[in-house]
Amino acid sequence: MSPAPHTQLLVGGRIYSASAPDATAMAVTDGTIVWVGQDRPGRALHPDAEIVDLHGAFVAPGFVDTHVHTTSHGLALTGLDLTDAVDREDALRRVRAHADAHDDAVIWGHGWDETRWPDPTPPTTADLDAAAPARLVYLGRIDAHSAAASSALRAAAEPLDELDGFDPQQP
C-alpha cells in the first residue's frame, strides 16, 4: 500500500504566479505545486495540509521548459552547423562555402549565437544575399526563436511585410 500524499500549504507569503497575481499561498503535494491563491481559500481547500508560514517571504515556483523544437533538431542533423562560429563573418564564410559546395533547395543553417561574438550583430538579409546570391537561406539562432533569412526565402514566403514584427533586414 502506498503512503498517503503529503501536502504542505505555504501561507503568508508573496507567491509569483501569472494566473494568480495576488497569491499569498501555495499548496505542494509530494513535491508538486497543486494550487496557488490566497491564504483563506487555501486553508479551506487543504484542511489537512501541514501549514508553513512564510512570514512575507517571496516564492517563485520552479520553472520547467517542456517544449521541444523537433523540426529544428532534425534540421540540425543535416544542415549547416554554426554553433561554433566565432563571429558574424565566420558564420557568413561558412554559408558561402556551403552554398558553393551544395545545391540544396534551401540552405538550413542553425546554432549561431551573436551573444558570444565580439560584435554581437546578427546576420542580416543583406549579409545572406551577399554570401549566397539568389539562394533560399534560413539561419536559425541557437535558441530556435529567431532566424535570419535571405531575400529569396523571404520572397518565397510573402507577404511577410504584413506580419507583426517584420523587419526587412533583421532576424
114: its cell numbers: 551573436
Distance CA 115, CA 52 (A): 42
DSSP conformation letters of 44-85: HH-TTSEEEE-TT-EE-PPP------HHHHHHHHHSEE-TT-
Domains located in the chain, CATH noted: 7-59 (2.30.40.10), 70-162 (3.10.310.70)
Report the pLDDT value the prediction gives residue 20, as an integer from 0 to 100.
Answer: 84
pTM of the model: 0.58
Using alpha carbons, select from 31, 5, 35 the residue that is nearest to residue 23: 35
Buried b / exposed e across 86-121, counting CB within 10 Å, b at 16+?
Answer: ebbeebbebbeebbeeeeeebbbbbbbbbeebeeee
Element (H, E) at 33: strand 32-37
Return per-residue pLDDT of the chain as tens, 171 residues. Answer: 778 899 999 999 999 887 888 999 999 999 889 999 999 999 999 999 999 999 999 998 666 666 666 776 677 778 899 999 999 999 999 999 999 999 999 999 999 999 999 999 999 999 999 999 999 999 999 888 889 999 999 889 877 777 777 777 776
Considering only CA atoms, which of 28, 13, 24 is closest in space to residue 58? 13
